[in-house]
Structure 1
Amino acid sequence: MNSKKIFDDSNKKVANTEIQIKKYQDSILQLNQEITDLSYFNFDSNEKSYFYFADKGYDMSKLLPAIQDGLYTQNEFDGDEHPLIPYGSSEGNRMQINIVRILNHKWIIADFTDGQFEGELFITYEIDEKGDLKYKLVESFLYPL
């Protein structure tokens, strides 16, 4: 009788484990699909954008950080007006670009805030004939408080 109970308990554990494994497999499949969806508009998964620069001889391991750093450098400005953020900041604070996502070989989206106000930017960029990065604000919005 005791060995039957041990055997039944063991079978229940195996069945529960199989159910858990199936749930985890389904969760992994769902997360993989979400990752694929989220990475669609991302430079790293866009072959055409990658080869746009690679074919021109740019070192991609240096170019992408340079594009991002160029935007972050815009946060180091003199005066009251940020070169790309068209909104004034709250008293005692400065608007700063926080998060940058390079979508492709022409477009960037960025998040900005001054600690109280926040919004997003749509920026185009190009590399001129001298090799300098040029940014242009196309659209922006400020979230309501």
Structure 2
Amino acid sequence: MKKQLFLYLFILSALLNVFTYSYFTRKEAFEKKQQASTSSSAKDSLNVLYNQLVEANYFALENNDNAKEYFYNANLDYTKIIPLVKNALIDYNGSPKGNPYTDQAADGEKKFSINKIKLLNHRWLIADYSNGELWGEALIKYFINKDQTVSFETIQTYLYPKQIE
């Protein structure tokens, strides 16, 4: 009887070991597969985000080789031109009637000021402006003069209608 009990216990422990080994082997394979899938989807997500970033920055001076070549031929450094143009346009916000390149008249004490600027190429920029209530956008042509000053010419502006809440 004692021998049979040990035999049954031995068989039971052998079966438990086989099932435990099988369970952990499958679990490890599943985790590797899951990790590979997660890694693959993370790479895909990064590629999608990178492509969206490239697409969003397509119209940017920093990515426009022709515009950079234009500045190079004019002996100008485009990395210095960007802040020069932005600061020159923002300086007009101090005008008592607001920034004249928004083509919007001041409404009482609320004057239109340019908030954000993006240089598109060696000649154009797009600007976002507001007076605190109304918002708009302007397409502006800029010129770098021989004395390193900047002159502007408004091409077109758009003022969004006031939102009724």
The equivalent residue for 2:142 is 125
Equivalent of 1:3, from 10, 21, 34? 21
Deviation at 1:11, TM superposition (A): 1.3
Tell me how far apart the structure 1 counterparts of residues 64 and 54 of structure 2 sit (CA, whole Å): 12
| Residue 101 in structure 1 maps to residue 118 in structure 2 | yes
The equivalent residue for 2:103 is 86
In the alignment, residue 37 of structure 2 is paired with which amino acid? I
Deviation at 1:81, TM superposition (A): 4.2
Give yes or no for contact 1:89–1:117 (8 Å, CA) kept in 2.
no
Tell me how far apart the structure 2 counterparts of residues 144 and 11 of structure 1 sit (CA, whole Å): 59
The equivalent residue for 2:131 is 114
Helix, strand or coil for the counterpart of 1:120?
strand
1:34-53 correspondence runs (5 A)? 34-53=52-71
Deviation at 1:112, TM superposition (A): 0.6
The equivalent residue for 2:42 is 24
| Residue 71 in structure 1 maps to residue 89 in structure 2 | yes
Q: Deviations over 1:76-116 (max 9, x none)?
A: 112x2431112235554321111100000000001011121
- Structure whose alpha-carbon radius of gyration is higher: 2
Give yes or no for contact 2:99–2:114 (8 Å, CA) kept in 1.
no
Matched residue pairs, number?
A: 144
In the alignment, residue 15 of structure 1 is paired with which amino acid? K
| Residue 144 in structure 1 maps to residue 144 in structure 2 | no
Tell me how far apart the structure 1 counterparts of residues 138 and 27 of structure 2 sit (CA, whole Å): 59
TM-score, normalised via structure 1 length: 0.90
Give yes or no for contact 2:143–2:151 (8 Å, CA) kept in 1.
yes
Tell me how far apart the structure 1 counterparts of residues 76 and 145 of structure 2 sit (CA, whole Å): 13
Structure 1 unaligned regions, length at least 5: none
TM-score, normalised via structure 2 length: 0.80
Higher helix residue share: 2
Tell me how far apart the structure 1 counterparts of residues 57 and 83 of structure 2 sit (CA, whole Å): 18
Structure 2 unaligned regions, length at least 5: 1-18
Aligned sequence identity (%)? 22
Give yes or no for contact 1:126–1:135 (8 Å, CA) kept in 2.
yes
